[in-house]
Amino acid sequence: LPQAFTTDFRVHWAQHPLRPEFAESTYFLYKATGDPYYLEVGKTLIENLNKYARVPCGFAAMKDVRTGSHEDRMDSFFLAEMFKYLYLLFADKEDMIFDIEDYIFTTEAHLLPLWLSTTNQTISKKNTTTEYTELDDSNFDWTCPNTQILFPNDPMFAQSIREPLKNVVDKSCPRGISRAEESLGSGPKPPLRARDFMASNPEHLEILKKMGVSLIHLKDGRVQLVQHAVQAASSLDAEDGLRFMQEMIELSSQQQKEQQLPPRAVQIVSHPFFGRVVLTAGPAQFGMDLSKHKAGTRGFVATIKPYNGCSEITNPEAVKEKIALMQRGQCMFAEKARNIQKAGAIGGIVIDDNEGSSSDTAPLFQMAGDGKNTDDITIPMLFLFNKEGNIILDAIREYEAVEVLLSDKAKDRDLEMENMDQKLSENDSHKQDSEETTSASQDVGGVSEEPEEGENSDVTDPDPLAPAHADSDSVSISNQDSSVPGTDEAGAPEPACTQGDHQPQEQKTETESNPKVNWDNKVQPMESILADWNEDIEAFEMMEKDEL
């Protein structure tokens, strides 16, 4: 038990110097009743002393019973009284070297003989016997009443006794001067309003401490407020704390009544992930509604300076047209969004500052506004717990350029295949153009070979060769053919014929090689698929088992 507690069972003084009064009352109750229940109480007392007060050098007083911390002290009454009463509680009659009934204990457990109280030993005792009525008191052998028997089927019996006494101190103790009367003097600072409270502000925490309000950080990233009026600096501060807690409860219930948004997704779409890594993100009650923008917001991520985003961004050139990464804390979420929007960011991701937090173990976190009009915020904002945020930070450290997609739900994980299809379609169009060019050259080559069948007629009639003026090879061949009639040597035409014979062979070779080129183009998608598989393997190797 603490040194002092209130009527509503709250700790007032948390220390415990190992006072012996509880052991003393346990001993005398057992001596008077012989009820073995008190032996169990003594046993529990010894076990708890060894469990909580035992230290290597003996026993130490408790500094705070809530935390189990010790003080470097042990008062004399612990040995002089506590051990004495515990020994007598369990000692048998033969363990005593004298009759304890001949002595009486002082408040410090000193023994005084009973004969000291006898004034005159010679006076004879008067016969004071009186008539007594025999009563059956067997039902009262046990001194501790069993409420389950006396008040059956009444589980609220204990609470019905404690509830009327819960605020008995507040009703009976004199109250100080009112705040209105005090304001006539120096004028205290106005109390902290719930809507203005920030858990990262040291001044706000100091005000809460004066009001008896303690702040507890939970593992899931949330903050819990607990008020102990007895820990307030004054009764007026306790009233302010109560008013603050009421405002906070109303604000919390109001936020819960608001529409709960579903979780969002942060998808890493750059190499080597290509959309295969999807992180669960918390939505924001302000900014762009990603559920109404199916395409989402896609862009490269960049870390802002300062990292908390609570002041003007000092590296706007690195954030412009990108998705800003920032840390939670120091200011409201809406203020962070306004700062990065002013710097030119197209979106924002807030990473939890609570080390080890994860969406796997924590409930969905929803970023609320600052109580003001947030219509000026037009960019999307998402919240990532610490573990998911580190995945993006690790990817930035390894690959530098990391592109993500902010959306209401994960898109098709083969997003990059669309770009591959576009590249393939472009290759197909280039292939068709090359085939058309090859077929055109083959047609021209066929026309240039006609002079060999009728040299004189083809030379005198140049009209069939007119369409072939764009092909230099065919023009040169026709010129060579036109020189044949003016040549008397039999061997002169052979070079022209030889050149003419070789030219179709070269075109034929090119024509034969084209199917091979087309086959290579058809094999290319298979190579890209194999490359995708390799990228998949690299991405999976980077991911941890729990992410898989």
**Is the distance from CB of 521 to CB of 428 less than 8 angstroms?**
yes
For residue range 151-176, list pLDDT tens digits in order: 777 777 777 777 777 666 655 554 44
Q: At which residue do the structure tokens 């001194």 appear?
A: 143
Q: What contacts 179, CB < 8 A, 6 or more positions away?
A: 188, 236, 239
No. of H helices and E strands in the chain?
A: 17, 17
Q: How many CB atoms lie within 10 A of CB 374?
A: 19
| Confidence at residue 166, expressed as pLDDT on a 0 to 100 scale | 67
**Is the distance from CB of 384 to CB of 352 less than 8 angstroms?**
yes
pLDDT value at 304 more than 60: yes
pLDDT value at 217 more than 60: yes
pLDDT value at 520 more than 70: no
CA dihedral 449, 455, 461, 466 (to 10 degrees): 20
Per-domain residue ranges for the chain?
Answer: 1-116+144-173, 179-257, 264-413, 422-542
Amino acid at site 507: Q
How many Cα atoms within 13 Å fall on the side-chain side of residue 439?
7
**Is the distance from CB of 415 to CB of 302 less than 8 angstroms?**
no
Rg for the chain, CA atoms, rounded: 47
- Could you tell me the two tokens for 262? 């579903």
| Confidence at residue 544, expressed as pLDDT on a 0 to 100 scale | 56
Q: What is the mean pLDDT of residues 350-356?
A: 87
Annotation: CATH topology of 264-413? Glucose Oxidase; domain 1 (3.50.30)
- Could you tell me the two tokens for 419? 């770009």
Q: Tell me the pLDDT band of 23, cut-offs 50, 70 and 90.
A: very high
| Euclidean distance between CA atoms 273 and 396, whole angstroms | 12
pLDDT value at 46 more than 90: yes
| Euclidean distance between CA atoms 40 and 411, whole angstroms | 66
Look at residues 496, 322, 525 and name the one whose alpha carbon lies nearest to residue 424. 525
* Alpha-carbon separation of residue 272 from 275, 401, 402, 458 (angstroms): 9, 11, 10, 64
Q: Does the annotation list 107 as a binding residue?
A: yes
| Confidence at residue 530, expressed as pLDDT on a 0 to 100 scale | 67
| Euclidean distance between CA atoms 270 and 459, whole angstroms | 65
- Could you tell me the two tokens for 504? 């179709």
Bridge partners for 113 per DSSP:
103
Q: Between vectors from CA 266 to CA 263 and to CA 267, what angle results, nearest 5°?
A: 130
Coil vs helix vs strand at 315: coil
**What integer best gives the mean pLDDT of the chain?**
73
**Is the distance from CB of 78 to CB of 23 less than 8 angstroms?**
no
pLDDT value at 445 more than 50: no
* Alpha-carbon separation of residue 488 from 141, 234, 274, 296, 532 (angstroms): 154, 132, 74, 82, 68
Q: What is the 3-state secondary structure (H, E, C) of 99-161?
A: CHHHEEECCCCCEEEHHHHCCCCCCCCCCCCCCCCCCCCHHHCCCCCCHHHHCCCCCCHHHHH
Q: What is the mean pLDDT of residues 213-227?
A: 78
| Euclidean distance between CA atoms 371 and 380, whole angstroms | 18
* Alpha-carbon separation of residue 323 from 134, 282, 339, 375, 379 (angstroms): 92, 16, 13, 20, 10
DSSP 352: P
Q: What is the mean pLDDT of residues 425-440?
A: 57
| Confidence at residue 125, expressed as pLDDT on a 0 to 100 scale | 55
Chain length of the chain: 548
pLDDT value at 345 more than 90: yes
